[in-house]
Amino acid sequence: MKDKITVISFLAVLGAAFFLSLFKAPDDVSYAERRRLAQFPELTLSGVLNGAFMKGFDDYAVDQIAFRDQYRRLKALFDLNVLRKLDNNGIFIKDDRVFKTEYPLNEDSILRLSDNINTSYDRHLAGMNVWYAIVPDKNHYLEDSSHLIMDYRRLEEIVRGRVYDGIQYISLFDALSPEDYFRTDSHWKQERLGNVTDTLAERMGFTLGTEPYTIRNFDNFYGVFYGQAALPVRPDTLSWLVSSTTENAVVTSAEKPEQVFPVYDEIQLGSMDSYSLFMCGPAAIVTAHNPLNDSGRGLIVFRDSFASSLAPLLLDAYSTVTMIDLRYINPELVSDFVDFAGQDVLFIYSAAIFNTSDSIRGWAAPSPAALPFETQDSPFVSPFVARGRLLE
């Protein structure tokens, strides 16, 4: 009798979920997974005959099932607590912090990005003041972990052995600690970057302002690892540092030259990616203009998303800070938008990007077929397409 009740209850739950899925309005996006969800496919004779309709319907049924997030959470809890797995799809929690496995070390990828730095130097930067730095991800600071951890010192050794000696290395490994990163996200916290900015200032020879910052907070920041974990984890507090410099500075984007943006776009808070608060978020080329610094000194940063929250803290020392993200533009086209002459240059990439550098555009000009997301009208790649997210 007990077995019959169990079977009937299970079938009842499945049946309820099936009928709810049929009649509920489809969701456009999943904020937890940070992607657009599949919609009901167009029903055509050709689509039925070639199988495209059924493939589209399968994707739709999986994405739009009722209680999708609850099923994902149940599966994660079952894997971790019943099957005793160490992670759920590469995501694990330790000391109330969410981590993503970065392993193994991909030496070819590391060499590829190192060569990209060298080629950028050859094309535009020879004879200039140029530095580079590696941002360790928070896995580097795990102690006595049973999880697979990338050899970060080996990564550093490979990069330093490959990048030209004329490009000066700045080590950030000892400037950070586990508390400097969000619990639910891969990124560092802006308010914890004092050691990083001091290290950069000392090595690059600039002076930071002495005006104290005002801290503003957003208390419901769910980082990228939160959705991937599908587990009940407390949200982070997202903080940003405000001064007269950040309040007076304006940001322009090569992709939207007719618009002007604030250094901190608070409209992004509570969106799919609240970290886009900083410096227009993911974008090919953005420049912060500081009217309170009339030195004419400029800084160019080749970067990934970590630099978005770092750049506002460097503004005191420069009239302009320009950030270039080669995930979203062919490097052959950068000089159409950026004047390199007389500027300081910093390459700063996370260890994770070094280890998976395929997203960084190479210097060899690809054929049109290799650039499916570029058009004749725009040299830029949509950040959401580049990340596999189709949300515009």
Specify whether 178 is located in the same domain as 283.
yes
**Does residue 123 sit in the same domain as residue 144?**
yes
pTM, two decimals, is: 0.83
Look at residue 12 and tell me whether its pLDDT is greater than 90.
Answer: no
* pLDDT tens figures, 327-374: 999 999 999 999 999 999 999 999 999 999 999 998 864 444 344 334
Q: Tell me: pLDDT of 172 over 60.
A: yes
Residue 149 included in any domain:
yes
Q: What is the pLDDT of residue 133?
A: 98
Task: Decide if pLDDT at 260 tops 60.
Answer: yes
* 235 in any annotated domain: yes
Query: Mean pLDDT score of the chain, rounded to an integer?
Result: 85
Domain count, the chain: 2
* Residues 137-170 pLDDT 10s: 999 999 877 888 999 999 999 999 999 999 999 9
Residues forming beta bridges with residue 76, ordered by sequence position: none
Task: Examine the domain organization and report whether 283 and 134 are in the same domain.
Answer: yes
Q: Mark whether 221 and 360 lie in a shared domain.
A: yes
Q: Which of 5-19, 30-44, 194-208 bottoms out in mean pLDDT, i.e. has the lowest?
A: 5-19
- Say if residue 185 is in the same domain as residue 321: yes
Are residues 93 and 108 part of one domain? no
**Does 257 reside within a domain?**
yes
> Could you tell me if 24 and 129 lie in one domain?
no
347 CB contacts (<8 Å, ≥6 apart)?
117, 120, 130, 131, 132, 133, 167, 301, 302, 303
- For residue 212, the model assigns a pLDDT of 94
Q: Provide the percentage of residues in the chain whose pLDDT is more than 70.
A: 80
Domain end (from 73, 97, 121) = 97
Range of the domain at 248: 104-386
Q: Compute the average pLDDT of residues 243-269.
A: 96
Find the length of the chain. 392
The answer on 74 and 190 residing in a single domain is no
Top-confidence residue, 99 or 28 = 99
- What does R_g of the chain's alpha carbons equal in angstroms? 23
What 3-state class would DSSP assign to 156? helix
Q: Which residues, 6 or more positions from 325, have their beta carbon under 8 angstroms from its beta carbon?
A: 282, 283, 284, 285, 302, 303, 304, 305
How high is the pLDDT of residue 75?
74
pLDDT score recorded for residue 354: 98
* 319, 370: one domain: yes
Q: Quote the pLDDT of residue 19.
A: 52
User: What is the tens place of the pLDDT at every residue in 49-100?
Assistant: 788 777 877 776 666 666 666 667 677 667 767 777 777 878 898 888 999 9
Say yes or no to pLDDT of 298 above 90: yes
Indicate if 214 and 264 belong to the same structural domain. Answer: yes
Lowest mean pLDDT among 56-65, 125-134, 220-229: 56-65
Q: In this structure, are residues 102 and 355 in contact, taking their beta carbons and an 8 Å threshold?
A: yes
Q: How confident is the model at residue 24 (pLDDT cuts 50, 70, 90)?
A: low
pLDDT of residue 307: 98
Count of beta carbons in the 10 Å neighbourhood of residue 311? 27
Residue 391 maps to a domain = no
